[in-house]
Structure 1
Amino acid sequence: MTASSPRTNVQLAREGIILAGAGAAIGLQVAHRSVAAGVQQHSNFTADPLGRLRRTLQYIFAVVLPEAQPARGTVIDWVARAHVPVEGVVDGAPYSAADPQTQRWVTATLYWTAEQIRWRIWGERLAADDAEQIYRSYAVLGTALGMPEASWPEDRASFQRYWDQQMSTLQVTAVGRQIMTDLFAAHSVPTWLRAAMPLARFLTAGLLPADIRCQLGWDWDGAKSIREDRLWRILRYAYPRLPTGIRYAPARIVVAGLPAVSRD
């Protein structure tokens, strides 16, 4: 018997397979000019990708998972302080990590990629109420940092319209392409992880919308589509059959490293 599809944001957040969408989320984020500029000018992202991933997961889990709630205030404060200096000018327009539209886009990429993974692994169409519950709960990833609740599209239909509009305006710049190149070059990560980067890049390329993949200059053809489909078929069969102790291990490890007491 296989595990049923997660029906809440908490259940979905615990699933380690969601990390397979991390590269696609980053690719979509840096296709936004302001995000790409902020990463280039104010982040050590490519020098310490594992550290950046760990901090991102600490934030997500502290905000979402009940067992991480004692650390929620502390982690939110960490992230908020880290975002204070992230501002500047790109193409003559100011940008800031505190901009609600930027926060909305980053949150949207996390929701969209998680849904792509959920569908590929479980392939189950959720009841409307469950799907809406997961969707609405993603707003907290932005609102915890100050994004107004009204900025998050009110339902999935509104989100789809927002997503389509954003996709029509995204443009991967040379900065965004370099960030993604450096990410998968993985010069500063352990050798064992660097060996996994070709597979991670392949999964990322398959998840990304075709236009973004094309703007990145990543080749994709019918043979790669067939290989990707076969890979997801294997994962769809194997992953849900794993014990939850294995599936939830990344979340458990990250939560164990959080501060024990919130200092609100």
Structure 2
Amino acid sequence: MTTDVFVAPEMSGPADTINEKGALAATDALDSRTMTPGSPEKQSLAIGKTRKRLDPLDPSFQPKEMQKVVQEAILLAGGAVAILLQVANPGVGRGVNEHSNFAYRPVDRLRTTMTYVYCMAFGSVDEKKTIIDMVHRAHAPVQGATYSANDVDLQLWVASTLYAVGLDITEKIFGKFDDAKADEIYQEYAVLATTLRVPPEMWPVDRKAFWEYWDRSIASFEISAHAISVGKDLLWNKELPLWAKINMPALRLMTAEWLPPHMRDAYGLKTSKSRKRAYKVLLGVTKTVYPQLPMFIRTYPMKFYLKDMRRRMKNMA
């Protein structure tokens, strides 16, 4: 059982502006509000503020509100956006492009990424320890002159995309959370960062601080050749199984509408009036149909990957 570097799960995503609550503004995308340039690297994300968070390896840690978000199969629809946002960070993009088997084993990458997310949300303490150890061992050889897979700034960005994208698609389909619920979800999502050696104090203290960090990051990234290469492998991958190829046109359509415009253009995606109309129809149908599906369908990927994880762990014992 292997665990991949940097890349996040297949979930939802971004493109124009986002308010302090994480709800999308009029453009239906996740881009910056302020677009204030500045490197996010090693900045203090909440100067003078700290928040005590539960140890994710404590048996009492149960991220119940995060679980309600993560369990939904619809999150897989936005995975391309999450990945493209991640590799927009130059260090992540270079690491994935130079050390990943993404182009040849896309389904395996999806499995390993989803296994990590589901395990951190639903796994036992022992299961979490096993997966975390696998991630750290997989990251150890991923080094370069300008990046390291164990760089906490890069891991913070990866975890941030998982939160932003997961919240985005959930609110697109089910509506916005009230402030109290949104705060709980945000604080629980810190587990995806802190279990990757990101110090707890680096996870922004609250949602306002998070979106300020998000704005700085989005504004500072220029899409590199490494990121573009990963994007091509992701969105035009010839190694995909048939079921995935059938869904790629819809995935590219949604990804184009959810990415920030400058990223969409850099990744070679297109938009137009007709494409926007098609996207609105697709989103409207999904918002109507998906919530009516039985829960065993909506939670099937989560149960499938956890069962697969436990089977693999048993075989390793």
TM-score by length of 1: 0.90
What does residue 127 of structure 2 align with?
71
What does residue 286 of structure 2 align with?
235
Task: Kindly state the Cα deviation for residue 217 of structure 1 after the two structures are TM-superposed.
Answer: 2.5
Query: Residues of 2 paired with 1:237 and 1:70: CA distance?
Result: 39
Residues 121 and 235, structure 1, Cα contact 8 Å, conserved in 2: yes
Structure 2: any 5+ residue segments left out of the alignment? Answer: 1-63
Query: Residues of 1 paired with 2:86 and 2:73: CA distance?
Result: 21
What does residue 152 of structure 2 align with?
100
Query: Residues of 2 paired with 1:81 and 1:211: CA distance?
Result: 35
- Greater mean alpha carbon deviation, residues 211-220 or residues 228-237: 211-220
Query: Residues of 1 paired with 2:103 and 2:184: CA distance?
Result: 34
What does residue 3 of structure 1 align with?
none
Residues 83 and 98, structure 1, Cα contact 8 Å, conserved in 2: yes
Q: 2:253 aligns with which of 202, 218, 229?
A: 202
| Matched ranges for 1:151-162 at <5 A | 151-162=202-213
Residues 31 and 176, structure 1, Cα contact 8 Å, conserved in 2: yes
What does residue 148 of structure 1 align with?
199
What does residue 50 of structure 1 align with?
107
Residues 63 and 69, structure 1, Cα contact 8 Å, conserved in 2: no
Please tell me whether residue 114 in structure 1 is matched to residue 114 in structure 2.
Answer: no
Residues 62 and 69, structure 1, Cα contact 8 Å, conserved in 2: no
- Greater mean alpha carbon deviation, residues 242-251 or residues 112-121: 112-121
Letter in 1 for 2:155: Q
Task: Kindly state the Cα deviation for residue 71 of structure 1 after the two structures are TM-superposed.
Answer: 1.9
Query: Residues of 2 paired with 1:195 and 1:77: CA distance?
Result: 36
What does residue 7 of structure 2 align with?
none
Residues 97 and 229, structure 2, Cα contact 8 Å, conserved in 1: no
- 1:95-143 C-alpha deviation (Å, 9 max, x unpaired): 11111110110011111111110121012x2121110111111111111
- 1:5-51 C-alpha deviation (Å, 9 max, x unpaired): xx810111100001111000001011111011101111111211110
Letter in 2 for 1:228: Y
With CA pairs under 8 Å and 6+ residues apart, which has the higher RCO, 1 or 2? Answer: 1
What does residue 98 of structure 2 align with?
41
Residue aligned with 1:258, SS: helix
Residue aligned with 1:220, SS: coil
Query: Residues of 2 paired with 1:193 and 1:126: CA distance?
Result: 31
What does residue 220 of structure 1 align with?
271
Task: Kindly state the Cα deviation for residue 197 of structure 1 after the two structures are TM-superposed.
Answer: 1.4
Task: Kindly state the Cα deviation for residue 65 of structure 1 after the two structures are TM-superposed.
Answer: 1.2
Percentage identity across paired residues of the two chains: 35
- Greater mean alpha carbon deviation, residues 149-158 or residues 173-182: 173-182
Q: Alignment length, in residue pairs?
A: 251
Closer/same/farther in 2, CA of residues 26 and 193 from structure 1, 3 Å limit = same
Task: Kindly state the Cα deviation for residue 70 of structure 1 after the two structures are TM-superposed.
Answer: 4.5
Letter in 1 for 2:138: A
What does residue 142 of structure 2 align with?
86
Structure 1: any 5+ residue segments left out of the alignment? Answer: 1-6
Residues 172 and 215, structure 1, Cα contact 8 Å, conserved in 2: yes
Residues 58 and 254, structure 1, Cα contact 8 Å, conserved in 2: yes
Query: Residues of 2 paired with 1:211 and 1:8: CA distance?
Result: 33
What does residue 127 of structure 1 align with?
178
Residues 102 and 233, structure 2, Cα contact 8 Å, conserved in 1: no
Query: Residues of 1 paired with 2:254 and 2:103: CA distance?
Result: 19
Residue aligned with 2:147, SS: strand
Task: Kindly state the Cα deviation for residue 227 of structure 1 after the two structures are TM-superposed.
Answer: 1.4
Letter in 2 for 1:126: F
Q: 1:165 aligns with which of 216, 221, 229?
A: 216
| Matched ranges for 1:23-34 at <5 A | 23-34=80-91
